Amino acid sequence: GESTVRQQVMTSITMDGVSKYFDGGETVANYRLNLEVDDGEFLVILGPSGCGKTTALRLVAGLEEPSEGDIYFDDERVNRWSPSERNVAMVFQNYALYPHMSVRENIAYPLKVRGIPPDERDRRIEEVTELLHIEGQIGKRPAALSGGQRQRVALARAIVREPSVFLLDEPLSNLDAKLRQEMRSELKRLQDELGITTIYVTHNQEEAMSMADTVVVMNRGTIQQISPPEELYSRPRTEWVARFIGSPPMNLFEGERRNGSIAIGEAGTVDLESVAGVRGIDATSTSTSTSASASASLSDDLSLGVRPEDLFLSSERPTSGNALEGTVDTVEPLGEYTLVNVAVDDRLVKVKVGDADVTRGEEVWLTFDDEDAYLYDENGELVTQ
């Protein structure tokens, strides 16, 4: 063979209206997923436990068959292709290395199975062990390795086959926090160098944000948002995503539209025109409850969202601008910043501040700039012009 680890056959992946049902249709793991993964892209599927991430990955791998819809690799419909025909490599959280084999034998195994001749095998093993910095471990048994080294061997074993697609399911979950962070940047570098189309599944948003070219946020079997990582944070398209991304995530205030303002319970009112105006929305146009396409008109029930880092505390009522009244509940000094929990009506609002000169029980005003506010309509969709 004349191919090397660095010359991959590129593959794009398309999921076209793919659904997967279990238990005779009772469990919906995936519902009408539409997804495109470009050649060489690093795509991360992010979502809470049980949202259907693993099933989506298994469908791409060929370990499950879609109940509905089609999967394409480049222009080929692969619905009925076996995993080996798809030439995908999967690495799971519980990557199983063969305990009785050395590292070298573990890595060589998939090549042996495929009948790759010994000298080609040696060349590829040398290349991949160098790439993953495990040259020194090659004679050891898995039991003699650290968690991170074992994970590297598992990756090496997957890469050495020169797959056209790399599928990773929570591959770092079993590692401690420090190692996880190290492996994160290493995986990213590796994927960059190899340029293999990669789908990575995780429930960890930091992992997703730090590695992905594109993040797909899933909830209950459906896709909530597909966007570059920065946009997930700066422009969460649904209230659900807004509540999911960020640490702590966005605060959402349920409000009621009253002419030009939005009333947030007993806490105060916010000038709707100035908040909406930032996004080019005409707050004076009335809602047409039947028309979903009239995105520029506002429903009567709205949620106002502001991130903890965009809220400010003031001990006096400001003379102008947005302000909501609350009572300091708890103050948590976290080193990097202080988190102040403020009771507003019957809920706790999180405010990130550098230094907090407030104490429990104190009456405060929460202020924020118009451009830091998000509006979500009654369907939980971001109100955009």
Binding site for ligand ATP (CB under 6 A): 22-23, 27, 29, 47, 49-55, 203
The nearest distance, CB 259 to ligand ATP, in angstroms, is 43
> CB 81 → ligand ATP: shortest distance, Å?
20
208 or 298: whose CB is closer to ligand ATP?
Answer: 208
Beta strands in 60-163 (DSSP E): 68-73, 76-77, 88-91
CB of 168 to ligand ATP, least distance (A): 12
Measured from the CB atom, is 48 or 118 closer to ligand ATP?
A: 48
User: What is the Cα–Cα distance from 26 to 288, expressed in whole angstroms?
Assistant: 35
Residue type at 351?
Answer: V
Give the distance between the most distant pair of CA atoms in the chain: 79
CB of 377 to ligand ATP, least distance (A): 27
Beta carbon of residue 29, minimum distance to ligand ATP (angstroms, whole number)? 3
DSSP letters spanning 296-341: TS--SEEEEEE-GGG-EEESS--SSSEEEEEEEEEEEE-SS-EEEE
- Residue closer to ligand ATP (CB basis): 23 or 346: 23
Tokens found for residue 345: 């009506």
Please report, for the chain, how many H helices and E strands are present, in that order: 10, 20
150/72 Cα distance (integer angstroms): 33
Provide, rounded to whole angstroms, the least separation between the CB of residue 221 and ligand ATP: 7
Minimum CB separation of residue 49 from ligand ATP in Å reads 3
CB 202, min distance to ligand ATP, A: 8
> Cα torsion for 128, 134, 135, 136, to the nearest 10°?
-170
Question: What whole-number distance in Å separates Cα of residue 214 and Cα of residue 157?
Answer: 26
In the block, residue with structure tokens 């009456």: 363
Task: Give me Rg for the CA atoms of the chain.
Answer: 25
Please identify, using beta-carbon distances, which residue of 20 and 124 lies nearer to ligand ATP: 20
- Residue whose CB is less far from ligand ATP, 92 or 337: 92
Q: Of the two residues 58 and 104, which places its CB atom closer to ligand ATP in the complex?
A: 58
First to last CA, the chain: 55
User: Which helix H or strand E contains 274, and what residues bound it?
Assistant: helix 272-278
In 329-374, alpha helices (H) = none
- Tally of CA atoms within 13 A in the half-sphere of 296 that contains its CB: 9
Distance CA 385, CA 333 (A): 39
Q: Which is nearer to ligand ATP, 21 or 72 (CB)?
A: 21
Q: Which is nearer to ligand ATP, 52 or 326 (CB)?
A: 52
